[in-house]
Structures are given as C-alpha cells and as structure tokens.
Structure 1
Amino acid sequence: MARTNESRRKEFDYEITPHIPSLKSFALKLSRDSDDAEDLLQDTLLKAFRFFDQYEKGTNVKAWLFQIMKNSFINSYRKIKRQPGKVNYDDIENFYENIRSEEITSSHVQNDAFSDVMSDEIADALAKLPNDFRTIIFLSDIEGYSYEEIADFIDCPVGTVRSRLHRARKMLYTLLYSYAKGKSLVGGESKLILN
C-alpha cells in the first residue's frame, strides 16, 4: 500500500510540477492578491492530488488544473458573497474622529453598490452558459488570454476557440440585453451607446 501511495505521489509530482508557475500566475490574476493567490494555488493542488485518480492520463493536465482552480475560485467567491459584511467599529470610530464631514463623498459608495449589482447580473448570466462557453469567455474576456493560450489550456484548435467565443458572446448579449437596456447601456436599435 505504501508503494502505491509513493508511486502515486511521484506520478502526481511529474505531471503537475511543470504547471505550477502557470497556476501561480492564473491564481494571481483571479484573486489580485498574493496571499489569496497562494491559498487558491494550495487549494487547487490539494484538490488535484485528492482527485488525481480521476485524471485521465494522457489528456491535457493543464486544462484540468485550470478548471479546478477556476471552480475553486468561483466557489469561494460565492461563499464570501453569501456571508454578511463584517464591521470593525474601531475603524469607524477612527474614521469619524480623523476626517471632517465635508471631505466625505458618497460617489464611491454608489459606484461600489452599482458594481456589485452589475457583477451579480454578469455572474448569473455567465453561470447560465454551457461550461465550454463559460470557460472560454472567462479565459478570454475576463483573464485576457490569447486564442492560442486558450486553445492550449482546453486542448482544442484555435478556430474552435474563436467560434465558441463568438457564440458565448452572443449568448451573453442575449442574456444581458434587458439589463443593459434598463441601465441605458444600449439604445433602441440594439447598438451600444458610446460615451
């Protein structure tokens, strides 16, 4: 039994270790915080090791790892969003003691509130997309990866990436059109309003 665990660990190290730098970079792009990125990387590696027996040897391990990381990030984001906000009353007290009321503006509060609503709307629309389309639009439009990088991640031709991305954008447009119209982001003729 110990030999089996040891051989499994060696095989895991052999398959996974070359992709750790890419995973670190992806984790940092997702979380935008080095500590959170490190936690996300560790969580991804732990899940990958735990479910390594489900990995089909010879398939694209990099795409498999990125999928695990993306799902872990989305799940932790949803968990955090469901938790009630925490208030540090010492910070509030210091704020009111040290800053005069005429220096306080509420525009950032309104912007934050609207960005949360828009993020939820977009997240809901993304969640409705089929997994293949959601992954491609996430990697392209949110993470900024090139068609070639995405093709390598998901192990398919660049033409397939372009086709799926085009269809995913059309689906998102359909899902978000009434929301965008309500926010005056699109006009009556389905054209974006440019500021």
Structure 2
Amino acid sequence: MTAVEFNNRIQFLIPSLEPFAMKLTKDHSNAKDLIQETMLKAFSNKEKFTTGSNLKAWVFTIMKNTFLTDYQKTSRRKTFIDTTDNLHFINSTNIEQKNAAYSNFAMDDIQAAIEDLEDIYKRPFVMYFRGFKYHEISERLNIPIGTVKNRIFLARKELKQILKVYEM
C-alpha cells in the first residue's frame, strides 16, 4: 500500500474514532488531542501496518494504548513516595465526602420535574433516557423521528429551566 493510499484510508477513520475517544476521555478537548496523537502515531508507524489486515482495528488499538499510557503517566504524577521508615505510597489527591442527603434532594427534584412534564414530552424523554434510539421511539409512539428529537429537546430545555438551582 502506498503512502497516499494509507493516508486516504486513515483519514476516513477519523469520524469513527471520535465517539471512542469521547468514551475514553469524557472530555471534548481531550478527545480531540487523543485523536490527533493517534493519527500522528499511525502516520509515523505506517510501515508497521501489515497490508491486508484490518486498518480500523489497528488504529483503534493505537488509540486505546495511547490513552492507557497517558492515563498511567497522569496517575503516577499524582502519587508521591513517603520516604519515612514504612515506605508506602500515598495518593496525593484530596478526598472529599459529600452528604448523601443533598443528592437525595436533587434526585427527588429531578423525578418531580420529569413527572411535571406534559405527557407528549415526558414519554419520548423517558424512553430516550432509558436507552431507546430515536428511531425506536418513533416506531413505538408512531410519530416522525423529527418530532421525537424536537420533543426530547424541548423536555431537556424545560428540565434545565426547572432545575436551574442545581447548575454549577
């Protein structure tokens, strides 16, 4: 495979890498950095790719390994060594305990806010929240997919307004 063919094929993989990067990093900018680092490693190691094997799996493996390596480096930076006689490792991050009552109040308010939604907004929103895809909701409620998306959007908007006190 020529370098141009390799570059063209690998460019088409970027849209499929984005969800995986988001799943790993849980942050949009970190996900973009991870994709960029993955692409750099793939381009610089293209001679290690075996023609005929699965390019997508190869690139996903690079991404996973890059993420794990960076995660381990970050974890090591947050740990320091106590040089006293017992020689044990202590994690330097702050430990914070929160009162569960606050989260119970928040959950009660969220449940009440969802219950107060109009039924035409509540049903699609709850189904989406439980993991149904837009097209599944559309089929089960017998409404167009655009209407499903609109009702979920409006339900979220109303819930954000009602639960504004919990914004951070």
TM-score, normalised via structure 2 length: 0.46
Larger gyration radius, structure 1 or structure 2: 2
TM-score of the superposed pair, with normalisation by structure 1: 0.40
Higher helix share: 1
